[in-house]
Amino acid sequence: MFEKINLLIPFGNFIRNKSLQNFLFLALIQSSTVLISIISMPLLIQSIGAEQFGWVNLSLSVIIVFNILVGFGFNLSAPREVAINQSNKEELSQLVSNVFSAKLLLALFSTGIILVGAYGLNLFQGYQTILVLSVFMLFSEATFPLWFFQGMEKMKLVSVATIFSKLLFLMGLVLFVQQPTQSIWVNFLLGISGLGVNLSLLLYIHAVLEIRFFSPPFSSIWKNLKDNFLLFFSNLASHISINGGLIILSFFSSAATLGMYSLAERVVMILRLFPALIIQAIFPNAAKLYQADQRAFFSFLKKVYLGTLTSGALISIGTYLAAPWIIQVLSRGELTDAVDYLRLLAAIPFLACLNVGNQTIFLVTDLKDLLFRASWMFCAYMICTSTILIHYFGAAGLCFGILSTELMVFFICLYLLYRHKKELLYGFYS
């Protein structure tokens, strides 16, 4: 009996670990996204075809770039401010009002740019309507309060709400998207379902947690934007480096090739979320350890890093081996080109895990300037390399460009740490 109790107590402590809880709830949110993507991809390909699927995915890529603008780094900076002021409702009211006001203004600004580009400058040929109806995803991002619940350590509710919004989206696909001409509604449904659920979460924050929403002065919003300036551009550069290849490919390849590559890329980019989840999960604990005991911080980070590398290697190997089966399940057919692209891209989850330690150090030590510099260095590398390789080798060239970028990210971060913070580099890698 006592042996059983002794076994249960450590397990209970393990479950109560804040880093683990953060990882589990964040993983639950991302898992719902993965599951819905797995279910929706074969439905979409069968109902709208590979060509329209390529346009939908291209529109999604454009919107996600604008979502980086809407987010403006608040998803990294705001959780810390919420955590510090958990018991101060006045400060929380000021913070959430500033952040949501700033994000809504940025969503409106982004929508204006898209409308001018689509109808004023006649850009986005072939997918104008799909893109314009996708702007609701910008407002879904602006009202998504994940950062608030992270700081309040109440991740369960936002996890359940996110799953519910994904189910609403899936139901909308089944009911309203059944032929190629209805592809215009895919991203619209994704945006409107998220927006509706997010507004319910904001109502909960106001009514149950008693947090007030008000219109702050523009000077207060502007101060928040200036404070997050470097984080925004770092996030933008990182996103372009990871996801911008599809937009470059659209200038060189046919819609059919775009659809084949999109299918493989969607699978790999879902798996690439793994190292990002690790960083988000350990960040609060790592920051506290760094302030209290740097030796304990480096020991903790080394253990996480080794586990992350091992898991990343297993994910990449499994993806390579299962590539034909994955594509067949998702497309309900044998798309040889998509299988080849997926096998080429399979190493990305492992290569992305290489930089988990470096990136955590940048964030924990508040090295925004170095993170900004690193992000734009490898962004420039990705654009130049991928453009050249796409020109000569098509979609396969883009695969090699993305792979080499992941390696370059790691070496650039190592170089910057060596040049500016040798003690951190030696502390972690020694």
Check whether residue 48 and residue 135 sit in a common domain: yes
Look over the chain and give the mean of its residue pLDDT values, rounded to a whole number: 85
Q: How many whole angstroms separate alpha carbon 112 and alpha carbon 135?
A: 10
Query: Residue 269 is part of which domain span?
Result: 233-430
pLDDT in tens, 261-295: 888 888 888 888 889 888 877 776 777 788 788 89
Among 165, 192, 227, identify where a domain stops. Answer: 227
* 330 in Cβ contact with 265 (< 8 Å): no
- Average pLDDT on 360-371 reads 83
Q: How many whole angstroms separate alpha carbon 232 and alpha carbon 49?
A: 36
pLDDT in tens, 43-56: 888 888 878 888 88
pLDDT in tens, 88-133: 889 999 999 999 999 999 999 999 999 999 998 988 888 899 999 9
* pLDDT at position 20: 64
* pLDDT at position 10: 45
Q: How many whole angstroms separate alpha carbon 91 and alpha carbon 145?
A: 16
* pLDDT at position 17: 60
- For the entire predicted model, the pTM comes to 0.70
DSSP H helices, 177-254, are 186-207, 218-227, 229-243, 245-250
Check whether residue 200 and residue 243 sit in a common domain: no
pLDDT over 50 (residue 4): no
Check whether residue 218 and residue 293 sit in a common domain: no
Check whether residue 143 and residue 250 sit in a common domain: no
Exposure on the CB side of residue 79, measured as CA atoms within 13 A = 22
Check whether residue 402 and residue 426 sit in a common domain: yes
Check whether residue 218 and residue 245 sit in a common domain: no
Check whether residue 331 and residue 369 sit in a common domain: yes
Check whether residue 241 and residue 221 sit in a common domain: no
pLDDT over 50 (residue 14): no
Token pair belonging to 280: 């988000």
Among 227, 250, 285, identify where a domain stops. Answer: 227
- Average pLDDT on 192-208 reads 94
Counting the structural domains of the chain, the total is 2
Check whether residue 17 and residue 59 sit in a common domain: yes
Check whether residue 105 and residue 252 sit in a common domain: no
Among 204, 227, 250, identify where a domain stops. Answer: 227
pLDDT in tens, 295-313: 999 999 999 999 999 999 9
Check whether residue 139 and residue 264 sit in a common domain: no
Check whether residue 250 and residue 396 sit in a common domain: yes
